[in-house]
Amino acid sequence: MKNITHIIYSNGISGHEKAIIGMLNENNELFNHKLIFLTKNNNLKNEIIAKNIDLKNVEIFKIKNLLLDFYRFFLCIKASNSDLIHSHLVHADLIISFLKIVGFIKVPIVTTRPYQYNINNFSILKNIIIYKYLCNFNIEICISKEIEDLLIKYEKKNKTQVIYYGIPITKNNNEKNNDSLDIVIVGRLLQWKGHLNFLINYSKIKVKLEKKYKHKIFIFGDGPEKNNILKTIKKYNLDNIFLMGEENDTSNIFNGKSILIHSSKFEGFGIVILEAFQHKIAVISSKYGAMKEAIKNNITGRLYDINDNNSFEDAFYYTIENLESIQEAGFKSYIEYFNSKRMLDDYNNLYQKLI
């Protein structure tokens, strides 16, 4: 079998890393896949294990001295006998592109573009400089149609393909809490994740909602917005909202929950949406990024405008009133399409065209 080497440069595990490692752990009859994980994080291996992620196809490559490690990395690439190299995230993309330009890499190179980067003019300009002038991939995989449209618009790309994320198919017994409608929010506590916007929107319907539905809201994650979130909870007397901190085990996050709120202002593709589908949890999501592609509105979830409180309120009531059908439809969508095996098949089909 031919060899595919994946390169990631990252200091942690977010949605993209989880999706790629999950895909590589699927049984593969066409290619030998290996992931070289470049990192400065000395504790990365333990963090990955804590998230119950299998490392069988992953080599952790710790970076200490940039020049010396660059040479070691080149020797590692050479020893892998790769028939194709697939890089992930900006730093890895720059390293692999440089090695290709100077002639050290002779095989096709591919990247996956996971970011929705039209946040501001600086972000747009930075990505144009990097990917239009410093990188030259055989093809660039986009995790959503929206990202592909951005590359075509700003970088004038013509060698792209959309391949959506998937997560492993596993059995999960999510025993719902019959005494309360438990709602969950999952993600780093960052400004663009939209927690404050959600809290303000929710404060306007809390009293009305509590009269009809007994419920609690659990926020999982940590980050620089924590104090602002706590202040907002106190300001609006949101005594049924609880900050739970970091949690690596998705079963602990989702077990007993009925609804996921995903309030991001910007998002490439929120893996947490698929994890909610996996646990038969209904999703209420802002209509940004790939969310409007991953969710069939009113069927597998409900989309809302974060700047329109009426849209938010309507989404809440619609989801509660159609809870079981939305939960089942989301789970079916995950089983039939948003899984790691389908993702691997799509990647393999692309590789076969390039090698």
Per-residue pLDDT tens over the stretch 240-296: 999 999 998 888 999 999 999 999 988 889 999 999 999 999 999 999 878 999 999
Residues 233, 124 share a domain: no
Task: Report pLDDT for 178.
Answer: 65
105 in any annotated domain: yes
173 in any annotated domain: no
Residues 316, 227 share a domain: yes
pLDDT digits (tens, 9 = 90+) for 44-79: 998 888 888 888 889 999 998 877 888 888 888 888
Dihedrals φ, ψ of 8, to 5°?
-125, 135
Residues 218, 95 share a domain: no
Residues 266, 124 share a domain: no
Residue numbers of the domain that contains 263: 181-336
| Local confidence band at 102 (pLDDT 50, 70, 90 cut-offs) | very high
Residues 283, 347 share a domain: no
Residues 348, 316 share a domain: no
pLDDT over threshold 70, residue 177: no
Residues 86, 59 share a domain: yes
Task: Report pLDDT for 118.
Answer: 67
Task: Report pLDDT for 104.
Answer: 92
Task: Report pLDDT for 332.
Answer: 97
Task: Report pLDDT for 309.
Answer: 86
175 in any annotated domain: no
Model pTM score: 0.93
Residue 155 maps to which CATH number? 3.40.50.2000
pLDDT over threshold 70, residue 12: yes
Residues 348, 314 share a domain: no
pLDDT over threshold 70, residue 41: yes
Residues 328, 191 share a domain: yes
Mean pLDDT of the chain: 92
Task: Report pLDDT for 58.
Answer: 92
Number of domains in the chain: 2
> Helices 90-101 and 66-79 sit at what angle, rounded to 10 degrees?
70
State the average pLDDT over residues 159-172.
92
pLDDT over threshold 90, residue 107: yes
pLDDT digits (tens, 9 = 90+) for 201-238: 999 999 999 999 999 999 999 999 999 999 999 999 99
